[in-house]
Structure 1
Amino acid sequence: MGAFRKLLGGVGAATVVVGLVLAGALETVELAALSRLFELRGARAPRAPIVIVAIAEDSFDELDLAWPFPRALHGEVVEKLAAAGALAVGVDVLFPEPSVRGPADDAALGASVARAGNVVLGAGLTVVADGLGRRVDLNPPLPVIRRGAAAVAPVNVFGDRDGAVRRAPLTVGEGGAPGFDAGLHRVAVASGMPAAPLPARSEILINYRGGPGTYPWIPYYQVARGEVGPEVVAGKIVLIGPTSPVLHDLFTTPFARGGDMPGVEIHANVLETLIRGDRIREVPAWASALAAAAVALLGSALVVRFQALRGLGAAALLWAALAGTALALFLAWDVWLRGVTPTLALLLGYGATMAENFVREQREKRRLSRFFSPDVLRAVVRGRESASLGSSRRLVTVLFSDLRGFTSISEKLEPEQVTEMLREYLTEMTRIVFKHGGTVDKYIGDCVMALYNVPFEDPEHAVKAVRTGLEFQERTLAAAARWEAKYGVVIRNGVGINTGEAIVGTLGSEQRLEYTAIGDTVNLAARLESITKDYGASIIISESTYEHVKALFPTRALGAVTVKGKTRPVEIYAVLPSDIRKHTRAVLDAAATLTAGGRVCEVRTRDISEGGLALDGVPDEWTVGSRIQIRLEGGELPNPIVAEGTIVWRRGSGAGVTFTALDAESAPAVAEIIGRG
């Protein structure tokens, strides 16, 4: 599978995420995440010289006035603040209509604003819908009021899609006139306040210092009564505005999720952001989209590169790195890197590729399950080992097994009976192949072809093939009596095994591929199976296989034979099943001391006959052909048994010994044990 094909899930995820970003579908979630970043950062103490004159219930009570207050009173407050040394005064109160108290009230406010000389008045923006569409109208203060103002600008705050206020406009209208906060910034700078220059952009992300009450609030009534000294406002920007809930000027912000931040305090946060020049810098959405696309591909690559758990761990580390980077950028440098988009991209890239891999694995498992054992199959499909299904030359051991006389058996039975018997037989033989680490190459009627040392390297491939053949014989003999009673037919099994190089891999046509092996090694194994009946042997192995297993299994040399298709004779050997008995045997559990060439080992006996005994716990270095001295004692033996013998077979830690000499005093003891049975 090509690299691009493996990453299709990531490509699809990247496409989806980029599409969502371009459509703005993720922006609301990203904005909510930005608010969480503010909360994680926590509030910061304000450092800009800003105070708020708060119009709240206490002022209603103390002044015994209802809203709206007399405009002349606002004028008095403005003049007192200017006289106390305020650098700039921002009025977050609208005066678009004449005062209910008459023109003199408006004129008094206008005169006070003009005398102060540093007042920025707020205007209102309204959206009007008519037959021509929607338009935005500016509702400034009355001319008599605004004539002497240092600046007039819209005081509105605007929420994002979720209603929270995070941005502030710096310019208004097509001409780019300064907004309310930018106007105050300019007036304060002109009055001598040191401040960062205004950014050359139409809006900024507000760097909020905290929630309601972060900036000092001065009750409006105290200023009106002259109870506030110059030290409170001198050299500062003073904002006048409502903070009472009854005046409906409260908003949601990152630090005020309950929607209780007064608009006037939002302006205080904007002003501090402008004065300090520390606006939240935003990584553009298009850059986040490109980063997300890369993350989606990387998430997909993690699945391709690693196993499931490793890939999940790597993906978790990648996400932690992304989240940590986004958090560090925000905390240390006031940079907002959108984190939801790459997180979603990682989840989709990883998840889509995992799903695609799962579907592919299931498809591959169905195709390959008849060749490999479940454990090998999992490794092959997931590519966890050095398995290669491509064709290559390699050393293999090939096993062919066939039911003798199956054609004549088929003629005697009904097709349904043949099918049932064959299914049972092949199922059991396949289980045995898988048990010993083999791969089922194919079934040819009643014949089973199995490969060893594929698709993974296995240094014991020849040994495992012979063990498979021996277990074939045992299971076939066990089934033979049952089938003879049920169907009236006698079955026997022949096995041929050869070791050598072959071409192994996925071979076939463009329409159909099979995992198989081809070559002379395969052909010879098939020929050896076909001559087992001629030699009266159940298992015949070639000389190359014999060299791998001669120290572990009892064998009998059959000489050289020229098989069909070969011009040179081949030395062949019969493997003798370990349960072939020439003498009656009896179970015996006794301690056995083996001595040979200065080596000594202590083992246990399994059974004994007049011709030899079977042992358990024999070390691997005591190989077939070893001549040994034997001493048995303990257990059921009244007296020790002493003998000499030769190891004639090995299976695991078990060993079979043929006596070559039995001590004269020990022979009666052996006969007595066998007699007891």
Structure 2
Amino acid sequence: MSRAAFSPAPTASRSDRAAHVLGWAAGLLLLVGLLLQQPLWLQTLRNAVFDQYQRWQPRPYEDAAVRIVDIDEESLARIGQWPWPRTAMADLVAAAAAGGAAALGFDIVFAEADRSSPRELARHWDLTPEQQTAFAAMPDHDAVFAQAMDAGKVVLGFAIRQAPPQPGAAALPPIPAGLVELGSGAAPHLQPFAAAVAAVPALAAHAFGHGALAFLPDSDGVVRRVPLLLRVADRTVPSLVSELLRASLDEKNLLVRSTEEGIEQLRIGAVSIPTTRDGEMWLHYAPASARRSLPAWQLLAGQVAASELQGKILLVGSSAQGLLDLRFGTQGHLVPGVEIHAQALEQILARHFLQRPAWAPMVEALVLLAGAALACAAALCLRPALAAAASAVALLAVAGASWWLFSRQQMLFDPLTPGIGIALAFLAPSVQRHHTSDQRRRWVSQAFSRYVSPNLVSHIVQNPEQLVLGGKRQTCSFIFTDLAGFTALMEAIDPAEAVLLLNRYLDGMIEIAFRHQGTLDRIVGDSIAIMFSAPIAQADHRERAVACALELQRFATAFAQAQQSTGVRFGHTRIGVHAGEVIVGNFGGETIFDYRALGDPVNTASRLESANALLGTRTCISEAVLGRAPAAPAVRRVGQLVFKGKTKPLLVFQPANDGLDLAVDLQAIADYEHAYALMAARDPQALAAFERLAQTQGDEPLVRFHLERLRKGEGGDIVTFTAK
């Protein structure tokens, strides 16, 4: 680890910022383009939003001039299973005409002759010639039905299919409705079909009109639109809804207005219906209502009041589940197909149209672009909370406008596409900004750690609430170091070289302190102060301090020897280690904080470092760190030191070999401890014991120190310092 090499703060030049802006602008345009491609998942989600709008605000049911003649379960139970004889259909037509119905439409395809007709039955039964003659004289059911249709405006439904027509299948029926086209023509925009399955010619020739029975559900199976015009082979044909409306208004023609972009409007008499570009009308479902339906059996039994028929458009169809004419509506439940046709007619007669204008996608794109640009700019320029608030306001505005247009103007405006664009435009730069901010935060943390301890920086970053004035009591361990003779060295060599040496020395010392998770308390010239168990409590702070002190001494000795080998008189390092309860926290004032420990143990650790100069040692460790009887055998007692201004002695130890990286002579330590014990007990034999030690350990500073004390007549192991 080299603390000298450090990269500058991550910054962006003006050209970089311009490139970023252009990049985000290009990204926004790409996003708009992708969303305007209308992928299937987006269409599905958008349709789900429109469906939810209809659940929140369905179209209120109004008693429009539309009734369903429902072949319901009860009608099947009373009349018989389906299909009913065509004479029953003739009775329905007659009852409707008698009641003054405006038009009657069949949501049923009569593609085959009535098998219950006498002639059809005679073909399959073994009859006598007389019986065959009698059956032949009976009226044909289809003929009875056709004759009944002549008395009213009846519209027959025909099915359409994508597959080519089967041989013998009924061809497209005659379409009496005329088609008047204004504009470029509707056919290219209509949903194409290959063939039709129509009513048998005997019936088709007597109908007032023919309408296609076709629903074009979306990919999720929900019917949201009803086609008004379709294309079968090369002909444009009306749907059952369009043809029934034409019949009820007694009009001859359908007027279609279209452009190159698509169909805009279908006009039947005085009624104008806005359409999609494909010739469909949007459905706005109303709740199910019993008033909309007339059971078929009641009409056949003459139990329907004339007021329920007069001027009404009647639709014959079935809600019986067994007949399988059920579709999914926007309300989330199955709807009979005949009811969908009825609801479409109700909307037309009430002039209640849901519209999604052709220009809606362009407006949505502009809203997306404007909102996304706002969200992107906010994410890049404002504080995160304000940027999020601005983006949320934009999203709410889009959603609110969409709902207002639906609920008040019956317009379908997609809030999802702009909403996704705004959300992505906010999230993408926010993530980048967070990444950049995180980079800068890590850089600041790294840079700040050059001035203070990394574990202190980490603690402040993780606990910013503790960055307040004040402190707390905590037991910590402290290391103080000092470099001997550095002032003289600075006078002897070039100051720049001396500073370079000092920085290399301090770099190595501080790296060791950080490796042991120590907190750098301060650097004063060539001296450093290190504390353990602050700001993060460390249960093993004493062991950490001892291990750190020994490694510091080994590094300092090796560094000094390396410099001395080059002729630089680099001095040795003195170290003091002590532990105790202190006040730890932020001191100073409101302007600047100084995180440090205050208390006598700090002063004592500094005194221990200074004591090395008098004792001749390099490392002194107090009993507060090691205990009075340390478990580690590779230490020796220095003495009980009484510092100036103190009255209580402090037992101090010296690491074996003074912390140097040398082999430990346990016998020498034992011999020293024996002599020390005699001195501590004031035994007269102490002097002789130290004189014998001097012969074998004369290079040991402590041996010389105590020998001189004893020769001066001092006894015991208490050493009093008269100077700080």
Aligned to 1:42: 58
2: CA distance between counterparts of 1:430 and 1:144?
111
* Aligned pairs (5 A) from 1:179-328: 179-190=239-250, 196-199=271-274, 202-213=278-289, 216-255=292-331, 257-259=332-334, 261-283=335-357, 284-328=360-404
**Cα deviation code 1:33-66 (max 9, x no counterpart):** 1110001113402242111110011111222x11
Aligned to 1:127: 162
2: CA distance between counterparts of 1:195 and 1:258?
34
* Aligned pairs (5 A) from 1:491-530: none
8 A contact 1:8–1:353 mirrored in 2: no
Letter in 1 for 2:370: A
8 A contact 1:52–1:215 mirrored in 2: no
| Secondary structure in 1 matching 2:206 | coil
Given the alignment, which residue of 421, 429, 435 partners 1:345? 421
Q: How much has 1:177 moved relative to structure 2?
A: 2.6
**Cα deviation code 1:505-560 (max 9, x no counterpart):** xxxxxxxxxxxxxxxxxxxxxxxxxxxxxxxxxxxxxxxxxxxxxxxxxxxxxxxx
Letter in 2 for 1:147: A
C-alpha distance 485-226 of structure 1, shift in aligned 2 (>3 A): farther
Aligned to 1:164: 222
Aligned to 1:99: 114
C-alpha distance 135-189 of structure 1, shift in aligned 2 (>3 A): closer
8 A contact 1:10–1:353 mirrored in 2: no
Matched, 1:90 2:108: no
Q: How much has 1:153 moved relative to structure 2?
A: 1.5
Matched, 1:420 2:509: yes
* Aligned pairs (5 A) from 1:48-63: 48-63=64-79
1: CA distance between counterparts of 2:22 and 2:429?
7
C-alpha distance 299-468 of structure 1, shift in aligned 2 (>3 A): same
| Secondary structure in 2 matching 1:128 | coil
Aligned to 1:155: 213
Pairwise CA RMSD: 4.6
Aligned to 1:109: 145
Q: How much has 1:307 moved relative to structure 2?
A: 1.6
8 A contact 1:120–1:151 mirrored in 2: yes
TM-score, normalising length from structure 1?
A: 0.56
Letter in 2 for 1:270: A
| Secondary structure in 1 matching 2:70 | strand
Structure with the higher fraction of residues in strand conformation = 1
8 A contact 2:86–2:145 mirrored in 1: yes
C-alpha distance 419-109 of structure 1, shift in aligned 2 (>3 A): same
8 A contact 2:212–2:237 mirrored in 1: no
Q: How much has 1:135 moved relative to structure 2?
A: 5.6
2: CA distance between counterparts of 1:475 and 1:326?
71
Q: How much has 1:72 moved relative to structure 2?
A: 2.0
Aligned to 1:138: 196
2: CA distance between counterparts of 1:372 and 1:416?
20
Q: How much has 1:210 moved relative to structure 2?
A: 1.7
8 A contact 1:90–1:119 mirrored in 2: yes
2: CA distance between counterparts of 1:309 and 1:86?
65
Q: How much has 1:68 moved relative to structure 2?
A: 0.6
| Secondary structure in 2 matching 1:115 | coil
1: CA distance between counterparts of 2:378 and 2:63?
47
Q: How much has 1:155 moved relative to structure 2?
A: 1.4
2: CA distance between counterparts of 1:106 and 1:295?
64
| Secondary structure in 1 matching 2:424 | helix
2: CA distance between counterparts of 1:317 and 1:75?
62
TM-score, normalising length from structure 2?
A: 0.53
* Aligned pairs (5 A) from 1:519-668: none
* Larger displacement relative to structure 2 (332-341 or 195-204): 195-204
8 A contact 1:7–1:353 mirrored in 2: no
Q: How much has 1:215 moved relative to structure 2?
A: 5.0
Q: How much has 1:114 moved relative to structure 2?
A: 2.2
Letter in 2 for 1:241: G
8 A contact 1:10–1:352 mirrored in 2: no
8 A contact 2:274–2:281 mirrored in 1: no
2: CA distance between counterparts of 1:299 and 1:138?
53
C-alpha distance 423-77 of structure 1, shift in aligned 2 (>3 A): same
2: CA distance between counterparts of 1:225 and 1:275?
29
1: CA distance between counterparts of 2:439 and 2:59?
56
Q: How much has 1:189 moved relative to structure 2?
A: 1.9
Matched, 1:81 2:92: no
Aligned to 1:578: none
8 A contact 1:56–1:243 mirrored in 2: yes
2: CA distance between counterparts of 1:4 and 1:18?
21
* Larger displacement relative to structure 2 (32-41 or 21-30): 21-30
C-alpha distance 469-78 of structure 1, shift in aligned 2 (>3 A): closer
2: CA distance between counterparts of 1:22 and 1:44?
35
8 A contact 2:104–2:154 mirrored in 1: yes
1: CA distance between counterparts of 2:29 and 2:523?
45
Aligned to 2:49: 33
C-alpha distance 476-13 of structure 1, shift in aligned 2 (>3 A): farther
C-alpha distance 408-289 of structure 1, shift in aligned 2 (>3 A): closer
Q: How much has 1:463 moved relative to structure 2?
A: 11
**Cα deviation code 1:641-677 (max 9, x no counterpart):** xxxxxxxxxxxxxxxxxxxxxxxxxxxxxxxxxxxxx
C-alpha distance 69-483 of structure 1, shift in aligned 2 (>3 A): farther
8 A contact 1:124–1:139 mirrored in 2: yes
1: CA distance between counterparts of 2:608 and 2:374?
59
8 A contact 1:7–1:297 mirrored in 2: no
Q: How much has 1:110 moved relative to structure 2?
A: 1.9
Letter in 2 for 1:262: P
8 A contact 1:14–1:294 mirrored in 2: no
Q: How much has 1:411 moved relative to structure 2?
A: 6.9
* Aligned pairs (5 A) from 1:452-471: none
Aligned to 1:331: 407
Q: How much has 1:420 moved relative to structure 2?
A: 1.9
Q: How much has 1:171 moved relative to structure 2?
A: 0.8
1: CA distance between counterparts of 2:339 and 2:102?
18
8 A contact 1:128–1:136 mirrored in 2: yes
C-alpha distance 475-362 of structure 1, shift in aligned 2 (>3 A): farther
Q: How much has 1:167 moved relative to structure 2?
A: 0.5
**Cα deviation code 1:600-619 (max 9, x no counterpart):** xxxxxxxxxxxxxxxxxxxx
8 A contact 2:274–2:353 mirrored in 1: no
8 A contact 1:10–1:296 mirrored in 2: no
1: CA distance between counterparts of 2:509 and 2:203?
105
2: CA distance between counterparts of 1:62 and 1:266?
25
8 A contact 1:243–1:250 mirrored in 2: yes
* Structure 2: unaligned runs, 5 residues or longer: 1-11, 120-139, 167-191, 253-267, 450-456, 462-485, 491-496, 529-587, 620-644, 647-724
Aligned to 1:562: none
C-alpha distance 35-411 of structure 1, shift in aligned 2 (>3 A): closer
| Secondary structure in 1 matching 2:246 | helix
